[in-house]
Amino acid sequence: MNDNQLNDQNNQPKEELGVEEDQAGKPRYSPVSAAFIGLIAVFILYQAGGSLLTIAIFGFKIQNADVTSLRLLTTAGQILFILLPALMFTKSVYPDVGKIIRLKIPKISEIFIFSVGLIILATLLQNYLYIQNFIIVKLAQNFTLVDKAKNFLDQLDKMVEEAYGNLLSYNSVFEASFLVFVVAVIPAVCEETFFRGFVQKSFEHKFKPFLSALITAIFFGVYHFNPYQVIPLILLGLYFGFAAYKSDSIFVPMTMHFLNNFMALILLFIFGKDEISTPVNVSYSDLKISLISFTGLTALFVILIFFIKRYYFRVKLIEQHKNDFDNKTGFN
């Protein structure tokens, strides 16, 4: 085949060459509308539906309920009210579920670099919480409105602690292992499939990647009903979204989500709840240390993000050169 024949073949419509247009990611309905409908539906199902199911099984005295049964119910709630709707919404809107959910096996190097970033970010956010709590306490001491808001947030925070207090208790190695499954494995699979899979990918059809990840992260933070940690959760969700977009694999943010929850559990197992919780009252000396750590870790995290972006830029260049070579030699 000479060069003219090769060029003529490359210029022919794909249908004439027997190659169908890739319609795998083309939505049947508005992807943005589908994402918001999914967010509303899952919120109602998981919060209202989960609460009603809990009351129906255990009644109003949940504190007296069997801990193992509560953990099984929590697992079932994640699967039935988050994972299953995520898959059903994806299947109803998109022809190819795997492409939208990002069912691609990542490289070990990808998991490693994002894991390093997670460790830095988690430590950074812990220092942020010290700074945040110091500011809130000082403002509450000087402004009545802030003090009232703080009291309200304290009540919400207490409710969250009471709701999860029994779930995090354990008396044996088996219970600790099951706790890892309930608190780290199941949320990583279910929540990432929904948020970084269906929701973020739907937004990416309309918005730029950063905005898509940010919108998804905001909903991710709000969904957890943890008033003092909503900003750290949003930032964590944004990092998960960045990982999902760059790697194009849902398994990367799943791994990050699992590691984040697993590290928190390990600290809980070793030090106990009281030792790892962020203190409400922070001294000036603690604030100074937190500010220095926060600044240094932020700089380190920004450098790592730059490195990750360069890594994927080089990967893209290599793939582009390979495709160009295949096109010239007629191997594709």
Whether pLDDT at 326 is above 70: no
pLDDT at 155: 82
pLDDT value at position 127?
93
Residue 207 neighbours by CB distance under 10 Å: 16
Task: Indicate if the pLDDT at residue 261 is higher than 80.
Answer: yes
- Say which residue, 152 or 240, is predicted with more confidence: 240
Asked if 171 and 78 count as a contact pair (C-beta separation under 8 A), the reply is no
Domain boundaries, the chain: 110-329
More reliable by pLDDT, 170 or 236: 236
Instruction: Assess contact for 308 and 246: CB atoms under 8 A.
Output: yes
pLDDT value at residue 172: 82
Residue reference for tokens 């943890």:
226
Q: Give the model's confidence band at 181: pLDDT under 50 very low, under 70 low, under 90 confident, else very high.
A: very high
Q: φ and ψ at 5, to 5 degrees?
A: -65, -40
| Least confident interval from 51-60, 88-97, 127-136, 254-263 | 51-60
What confidence score (pLDDT) does residue 327 get?
A: 66
Structure-token match 């947030």, residue found: 153
| Average pLDDT of every residue of the chain | 84
| Separation between Cα atoms, residue 54 and residue 280, nearest integer Å | 31
> In this prediction, what percent of the chain has a pLDDT beyond 70?
80
Secondary structure of the chain as H, E, C letters:
CCHHHHHHHHHCCHHHHCCCCCCCCCCCCCHHHHHHHHHHHHHHHHHHHHHHHHHHHHCCCHHHCCHHHHHHHHHHHHHHHHHHHHHHHHHHHCCCHHHHHCCCCCCHHHHHHHHHHHHHHHHHHHHHHHHHHHHHHHHHHHCHHHHHHHHHHHHHHHHHHHHHHCCCCCCCHHHHHHHHHHHHHHHHHHHHHHHHHHHHHHHHCCCCHHHHHHHHHHHHHHHCCCHHHHHHHHHHHHHHHHHHHHHCCCHHHHHHHHHHHHHHHHHHHHHCHHHHCCCCCCCHHHHHHHHHHHHHHHHHHHHHHHHHHHHHHHHHHHHHHHHHHHHHHCCC
CA distance 251 to 106: 7
